[in-house]
Amino acid sequence: MPDDQGADMSHTTRTLLKVLVEQRKWRYTDFERHLRRAADRVLGEGARNFTVSESQFRRWTSGRVQTLPGPHACLVLEHMFGVDIAALFGPPPTPDAPATAFNLEDEIAMTARDAQSEAGAAAAESLSETTLDQLRDDVTALARTYSNTPAFDAFRSARELREEAEAGRDRTQVPAQKQELLILAGQACALLATAAFDLGSFDGARRLSRAAALYGETARFGPLRAFAGGVLAYLAYFSNRPAEGARLARQAQAFTGLGDVARRRLTAIEARACGHLGDVPAARRALYRAQRDGQGLTDDLHDEVSGEFGFSPERLAMSNSSTCLLIGDGEAAEAAAMQSLELAAAKPTAARSVRVIGGAAADLATARLLRGDLDGAAEAMTHVWEVPRGQRSSGLLARTARVRRALNGSRFRAAQLSVELGEQIEDFTRRSASHELGTGSAALLTLEG
């Protein structure tokens, strides 16, 4: 802090410095900020720590200063106000006296310099809209191509996007940009959670889901919190905690700002949790609600970004088929699985999700085994074998494990086709990405238990 030194000053009760500070409506923090900026311009590199305490500021503006500040402080103050230092600490001019202390041209020039400097600083503390647009497009593209991207590749891409969003948050001071970057980082984190689940890392998926939920909470963005809550719900029932899964799914439905797709997804997850719990009436009620028409509501995540954040009709039908199997309704499960495959087949090839097709086909095989149709089950499984190893997610492996258990029943145990299908399922699982990465073994045991 600069020391007061130099010529003696007579005691005054009001100074020109105080008048000028009052005219600008500066508080101590405003004065100190302008002082540091002026010091940077006047003193250069040596001024990095040039500041003034609040008590010193009060003395300077109180009229109780007996000596002028030190030489450096005098130079900075003269630059700030465009007024001679002795005049600054002297009494303000009377209305009828010539205003020799003021120089209008200097005042305007100083104001212009400050405005230019602060505008430049603000520009340096923001991201270009081009950069933000590209990050937004990249997150959206990953979400929309996720269903046909190997889970490990999706994980790496999502990690890079989250890191890029965080780096952007450090570079900008613009509130609107910070808000959007929080949401984008949260979306990338939610995709990381989904990829971790698909790769069989349930603990990692749970942590990432909670991180995504925290991003959503910080950004006050309900759809992201709801999506993350849905992931936590199905992680719970896949980990043999179906009651917790049902609770989490219902809790997520209470977030504000959700569209029909978001609520349909959460209701379908609730139905599955109730099915795992063995609560057939609750599962049927949730199934009914999941299939009802919505209210025409949309949100910026499930509808606008869509892709992995969406919940297409064929995905809903696939989920419903699994729920129906859990509650022992093989006929409804077969109908829902067939509907899912038909809806997927009606889409252009590039828009079809191999994960959804594989999952629906596995459910169809299980439903057919329930009514004793081994040949029909083998036919359905031909769609499963087409799923590339990098996209053999935990959900799909859980469905093929269910087919394997059905084949082990006494009804099919001796049939050669049953033996062949069982071996194919074992090979299919062994060649999955999660099995090869060593992340899915424990998870698969949980799902088969």
| Each residue's pLDDT tens digit, 307-356 | 999 999 999 999 999 999 999 999 999 999 999 999 999 999 989 999 99
The residue with greater pLDDT, 96 or 165, is: 165
- The predicted structure's pLDDT at residue 280: 97
| Confidence band for 59, pLDDT divided at 50, 70 and 90 | confident
Residue 246 has pLDDT above 80, yes or no: yes
Could you give phi then psi for residue 67, rounded to 5 degrees? -135, 155
Residue with tokens 């003021």: 102
Average pLDDT of the residues in 188-194? 98
pLDDT digits (tens, 9 = 90+) for 371-405: 999 999 999 999 999 999 989 999 999 999 999 99
Residue with tokens 């509907």: 339
Instruction: Please give the structure tokens belonging to residue 241.
Output: 């905690």
- The predicted structure's pLDDT at residue 2: 54
Distance CA 190, CA 155 (A): 10
CA distances from 42 to 46, 73, 77, 285, 417 (A): 10, 10, 10, 74, 88
Which amino acid, residue 282? A
CB neighbours of residue 371 within 10 Å: 11
- The predicted structure's pLDDT at residue 77: 84
CATH of domain 129-311: 1.25.40.10
155 neighbors 190 (Cβ within 8 angstroms):
no
- The predicted structure's pLDDT at residue 106: 56
Q: Across 2-11, 81-90, 399-408, which has the greatest mean pLDDT?
A: 399-408
- Least confident range from 23-27, 298-302, 361-365, 395-399: namely 23-27
pLDDT digits (tens, 9 = 90+) for 251-271: 999 999 999 999 999 999 999
Distance CA 295, CA 188 (A): 28
The span from the first CA to the last CA of the chain, in angstroms, equals 70
**Structural domain boundaries in the chain:** 4-124, 129-311, 313-449
Distance CA 399, CA 234 (A): 14
- The predicted structure's pLDDT at residue 100: 43
Residue 231 has pLDDT above 60, yes or no: yes
Burial grade of 416 (CB within 10 A; 0-12, 13-18, 19 or more): exposed
Question: Which of 376, 385, 277, 398 has its CA nearest to residue 330?
Answer: 376
Residue 297 has pLDDT above 90, yes or no: yes
Residue 58 has pLDDT above 90, yes or no: no
CATH of domain 313-449: 1.25.40
Furthest-apart CA atoms within the chain: distance in Å: 115
Query: If DSSP states are collapsed to H, E and C, what string results for the chain?
Result: CCCEEEEECCCCCCCHHHHHHHHCCCCHHHHHHHHHHHHHHHHHHHHCCCCCCHHHHHHHHHCCCCEEECHHHHHHHHHHHCCCHHHHCCCCCCCCCCCCCCCHHHHHHHHHHHHHHHHHHHHHCCCCHHHHHHHHHHHHHHHHHHHHCCHHHHHHHHHHHHHHHHHHHHHCCCHHHHHHHHHHHHHHHHHHHHHHHHCCCHHHHHHHHHHHHHHHHHCCCHHHHHHHHHHHHHHHHHCCCHHHHHHHHHHHCCCCCCCHHHHHHHHHHHHHHHHHHCCHHHHHHHHHHHHCCCCCCCCHHHHHHCHHHCCCHHHHHHHHHHHHHHCCCHHHHHHHHHHHHHHHHCCCHHHCCHHHHHHHHHHHHHHHHHCCCHHHHHHHHHHHHCCCHHHCCHHHHHHHHHHHHHHCCCCCCCCHHHHHHHHHHHHHHHCCHHHHHCCCHHHHHHHHC
Average pLDDT value over all residues in the chain: 87
Could you give phi then psi for residue 373, rounded to 5 degrees? -95, 85
- The predicted structure's pLDDT at residue 443: 46
Do 129-311 and 313-449 come out as alike in CATH topology?
Answer: yes
- The predicted structure's pLDDT at residue 119: 55
Burial grade of 439 (CB within 10 A; 0-12, 13-18, 19 or more): buried
Residue 441 has pLDDT above 80, yes or no: no
